[in-house]
Amino acid sequence: MDFILVGIPFDDSQTFRKGAAKGPEALRKTFPKLETFVSGVDLSQEAFIDDYGDFEREEFSLKGGKFPIILGGDHSITRFTVPVVKPKSVLVFDAHPDCEDSDGHDGFARRLAEMGYNIFIYKPRCMSASEKEFLAQSKNVKIIDEKGLKEIEGPVYVSIDYDALDPSVMPAVGNPEPDGLTFKEIIDAVQIVVGKAIAVDFVELTPTEKDTELWNSVAGKLVYAVIAEVVKSRKK
């Protein structure tokens, strides 16, 4: 199966920890060090990944019909990539609903909803009072659990903020929140919708010199694990 890899090294967020613009470069350096036999799939044989390099956030484009794997960058990039991919639904893994009245990373889901997309946010665990009020009134943004995953209509764009993971698993994010998901819980959720997926992005990795090797490895393994699930779904 053919994939394209695209980086969008953008970071304009005011966060606990900055540096998401370094995410694509850090992941590219990490991928060659990782085991490519993942969940029964030999990615070196069954997944051709063509690296298209980096794009400016506003200049993202696609060609050739291959499955896009998009590396951020802060979560604001998703507001620009979704309209290019043109899904019916957007599934978001995030510690936060990102529904502030903002053009930044903390408001991308709200802006996409305003464009008419159906947004499904999987088990967020921290929100502001204004986000809670917005969610109570919104008709096309839903907070979901496992049951809600089965109700999502395709085609689906999947957006994975690394802060969806518990900080004990992935602390190298802009806004870490306690009581997060495990690596396996994200993959289990992805398995439910992956047959409908047409693109995946990974955002908010914030690598530093001190912890690059360890946390970048976890981040890279999540990318590979999701790609393996896409390959398996297509083989079925």
72's enclosing H/E stretch is strand 67-72
- Vertex 190, ends 24 and 220: CA angle to 5°? 25
Task: Name which of 134, 131, 126, 122 is nearest 190 in CA terms.
Answer: 122
Only one residue has tokens 């291959």, namely: 66
Helix (H, G, I), strand (E, B) or coil at 202: strand
The two three-digit tokens of residue 15, written as one number: 């966060």
Predicted structure pTM score? 0.96
pLDDT in tens, the chain (236 residues): 899 999 999 998 666 778 899 999 999 999 999 999 999 999 999 999 999 999 999 999 987 789 999 999 999 999 999 999 999 999 999 999 999 999 999 999 999 999 999 999 999 999 999 999 999 999 999 999 999 999 999 999 999 999 999 999 999 998 999 999 999 999 999 999 999 999 999 999 999 766 667 899 999 999 999 999 999 999 87
Quick check: 104 and 12 in contact, CB under 8 A?
yes
Classify burial at 139, counting beta carbons within 10 Å of its beta carbon; exposed 0-12, middle 13-18, buried 19 or more.
exposed
Q: Tell the CATH superfamily of the 2-235 domain.
A: Ureohydrolase domain (3.40.800.10)
Domain boundaries, the chain: 2-235
CB atoms within 10 A of CB 217: 14
